[in-house]
Structures are given as C-alpha cells and as structure tokens.
Amino acid sequence: MSNPDPRDELVDHLPAMRAFAMSLTRNSATADDMVQDTLVKAWTNIDKFEVGTNLRAWLFTILRNTYYSSRRKAKREVADVDGVFTESLSQKPDHDGRLQMADFRTAFAQLPDEQREALILVGASGFAYEEAANMCNVAVGTIKSRVNRGRAKLAELMHLNDDEAMELTDDATMAVVAARVNGALR
Amino acid sequence: MGQNDKRPRGGDTINANLKRVYDEALQEDIPDRFKDLLAQLKAQDSEKESGGETSK
C-alpha cells in the first residue's frame, strides 16, 4: 500500500475550499484570501493531519477557524458583500429559475454566518450532521438547529411558506397565510 | 447521507438552490495564485530538505 503525501491532494480540494469560503464570506476576494491562508496553514501543519481521515473536513475546519478568527478581529465591520444586499427580494414566488436563484442568493447572504455554514456543510457539501458538528466544534443538536433555523428563515425570505399552510391548524394563522398566498400568487 | 428527508416543497426548493449555489462555485476556475502558492510551498520544502538541516 502506497502512502501518498496528503499535501499532494490539497489541489484537489481547492474548488470545494473556494466554494465553502465563498459561502462564508460572500465575497470572492475575501474568500480567496481565506483559501490562501488555509493552504499555507494546512501545508505547514500537515503532520497534524491524521492520514486516513477526511482531508476535506480537516481543510474546511482550518478554513472556518480562519474565517471566524478574522471576523472576531474585524469586530463586525460590515463586509462588502459583492452587491448582494443592493438587490431587494422580488415580491412573489417566481417560476423563473434565474430570478429564484437571485432571490435565494440574497436571502442566503442575510443568514447569520453559523446558519449559512451549517446549511452548506450539511445541505450542499454532503457532510453528515456529526461531521459538521465536529468541524464546527459544537454539539450535533446545535448543527441541526442551525440548519432548521436557516431553512425556516430562507423559506420566509423566499416566500416559500405557502405550502406549509396545509399543516397549520390555527384559524387565525390560516387566514393570514391564505391572505398572503392570495396576494402573492400571480 | 442515506437519510431521505421528506420535506415539503419549500424544503426541496431550498435544497436545490443550496446545491446550485455551491455547485456553481465549485465549477469556477481556480486562480493561478493557488497553484503558484502550492508550487512555492513545495519548492521551499525541498530546499529545506536538500539544503542541509538547520544546525543545532
């Protein structure tokens, strides 16, 4: 069995690292700086990587730690978010995929970092809740609740709550939802 | 993964969008700076290895 140097595999993870960094920072220049820092840290600390474990998870962990420590330093200095906040949400659900995508991006960018992160790790990168929890150094339940809160917020921002109306029993809520649906539908 | 989640349509839309946003980012070309950086790191290491250990 050959023993490949994990450093040779770093390049294979670059697209995923950039995609994850983009979703965290919402800014391509900041994302690339983050990936660069992560690469240097990974390279120089490769002896701390346990061969046989998930390299991507290890890299993502470094990346997110880099992000959160720089965020702490920046003390919530408002990031330049590639203009996503300048667009406002469209008023109604739309069947046009592109418009819906734009809405999604806008809504997604508004979520707290921790919820965006959990959604990307679990919903898009295919990590298990347990893996995501390890990477974020929190309990599995915390990841689950971040995912759920993130989904709920996205649904609200994108006016996707309509089909949940069927599950609601409270009459007053039903009335409000019905009014919203009627107002929102073409 | 394995777990099949039966979510209402709103959830499906969110999943689909999440994947799309992520996949689009995945498909972007990798800027040369990263490959250059990796080459540089590699060169530094082989220099250290061949150029004699730091004497103690």
Q: What is the mean pLDDT of residues B38-47?
A: 91
d(CA B40, CA A37): 14
Q: Which value, in Å, is the radius of gyration of the alpha carbons in chain A?
A: 20
User: Cβ of A43 and B19 within 8 Å?
Assistant: no
Give the residue on B whose Cα is nearest the Cα of A166. Answer: B8
DSSP class of residue A165 equals G
Question: Which residues on chain B are in Cβ contact (under 8 Å) with A127?
Answer: none
How far apart are the C-alpha atoms of A180 and A5, rounded to whole Å? 57
Tokens of B6: 């039966």
Angle formed at CA A132 by CA A1 and CA A72, multiple of 5 degrees = 115
Q: What is the pLDDT of residues B12-38, one digit of tens each?
A: 889 999 999 999 999 999 999 999 999
Contacts of B22 in chain A (CB under 8 A): 19, 23, 120, 124-125
pLDDT in tens, A32-43: 999 999 999 999
Quote the mean pLDDT of chain A: 83
Q: What is the pLDDT of residues A3-31, one digit of tens each?
A: 789 999 999 999 999 999 999 999 999 99
Task: Report the C-alpha gap between A135 and A155 in whole angstroms.
Answer: 26
User: Which residues 34-53 of A have a C-beta within 8 angstroms of B?
Assistant: 35-36, 39-40, 43-44
ipTM above 0.85, yes or no: no
